[in-house]
Amino acid sequence: MVDADQTFVIVGGGLAGAKAAETLREEGFSGRVILVCDERDRPYERPPLSKGYLLGKEERDTVFAHEPAWYARHDVELHLGQTVDAIDREAKTVHYGDDGTHVRYDKLLLATGAEPRRLDIPGTDLAGVHHLRRLSHAERLKGVLAHLGRDNGHLVIAGAGWIGLEVAAAAREYGAEVTVVEPSATPLHHVLGPELGELFAELHSAHGVRFHFGARLTEIVGQDGVVLAARTDDGEEHLCHDVLAAIGAAPRVALAEAAGLELADRADGGGIAVDERLRTSDPDIYAAGDVAAFPHGLFDARLRVEHWANALNGGPAAARAMLGRDVVYDRVPYFFSDQYDLGMEYSGWAPPGSYDEVVIRGDAAKREFIAFWLKEGRVLAGMNVNVWDVTDPIQRLIRSRAHVDTHALADPHVPLDTLSA
Ligand SMILES: Cc1cc2nc3c(=O)[nH]c(=O)nc-3n(C[C@H](O)[C@H](O)[C@H](O)COP(=O)(O)OP(=O)(O)OC[C@H]3O[C@@H](n4cnc5c(N)ncnc54)[C@H](O)[C@@H]3O)c2cc1C
Q: What percentage of the chain carries pLDDT values higher than 90? A: 95
- The lowest-confidence range among 41-45, 95-99, 217-221, 370-374 is 95-99
Q: pLDDT tens digits for 119-130?
A: 999 999 999 999
Give yes or no for residue 194 having a pLDDT over 70: yes
Q: What's the pTM?
A: 0.97
Give yes or no for residue 292 having a pLDDT over 80: yes
Say if residues 382 and 391 touch (Cβ distance below 8 Å): no
- Distance in Å, CA 13 to ligand 1 centroid: 9
Whose alpha carbon is nearest atom 7 of ligand 1? 47
Q: Which atom of ligand 1 is nearest to the CA of 85?
A: 41
Give yes or no for residue 52 having a pLDDT over 70: yes
Whose alpha carbon is nearest atom 37 of ligand 1? 112
Average pLDDT of the residues in 368-375: 98
Whose alpha carbon is nearest atom 26 of ligand 1? 289
In terms of Cα–Cα distance, which of 261, 321, 336 is closest to 291? 261
Say if residues 404 and 377 touch (Cβ distance below 8 Å): yes
- Distance in Å, CA 421 to ligand 1 centroid: 37
- Distance in Å, CA 47 to ligand 1 centroid: 9
Name every protein residue with a CB atom under 6 angstroms from any ligand 1 atom.
11-17, 36-39, 46-47, 49-50, 83-84, 111-114, 132-133, 163, 252, 255, 289-290, 306-309, 311, 335-337
In terms of Cα–Cα distance, which of 353, 355, 402 is closest to 383? 355
The pLDDT of residue 334: 97
- The CATH number, out of the four listed (3.40.1360.10, 3.40.50.300, 3.90.780.10, 3.50.50.60), of the domain defined by the range 118-247: 3.50.50.60
Classified as helix, coil or strand, 315 is helix
Q: How confident is the model at residue 99 (pLDDT cuts 50, 70, 90)?
A: confident
CA 373, CA 7: separation in Å to the nearest integer? 45
Give yes or no for residue 181 having a pLDDT over 70: yes
Mean pLDDT of the chain: 96
In terms of Cα–Cα distance, which of 260, 227, 258, 267 is closest to 244? 227
- Distance in Å, CA 157 to ligand 1 centroid: 20
Residues ≥6 apart with Cβ < 8 Å to 307: 333, 334, 335
Say if residues 298 and 4 touch (Cβ distance below 8 Å): no
CA 168, CA 50: separation in Å to the nearest integer? 9
- Domain ranges in the chain are 7-115+250-322, 118-247, 341-419
Same fold, 7-115+250-322 and 118-247: yes
Q: What is 341-419's CATH number?
A: 3.30.390.30
- Distance in Å, CA 46 to ligand 1 centroid: 6
- Distance in Å, CA 351 to ligand 1 centroid: 22
Q: How confident is the model at residue 420 (pLDDT cuts 50, 70, 90)?
A: confident
Q: What is 7-115+250-322's CATH number?
A: 3.50.50.60
Q: Which atom of ligand 1 is nearest to the CA of 18?
A: 25
Give yes or no for residue 4 having a pLDDT over 80: no
Whose alpha carbon is nearest atom 15 of ligand 1? 307
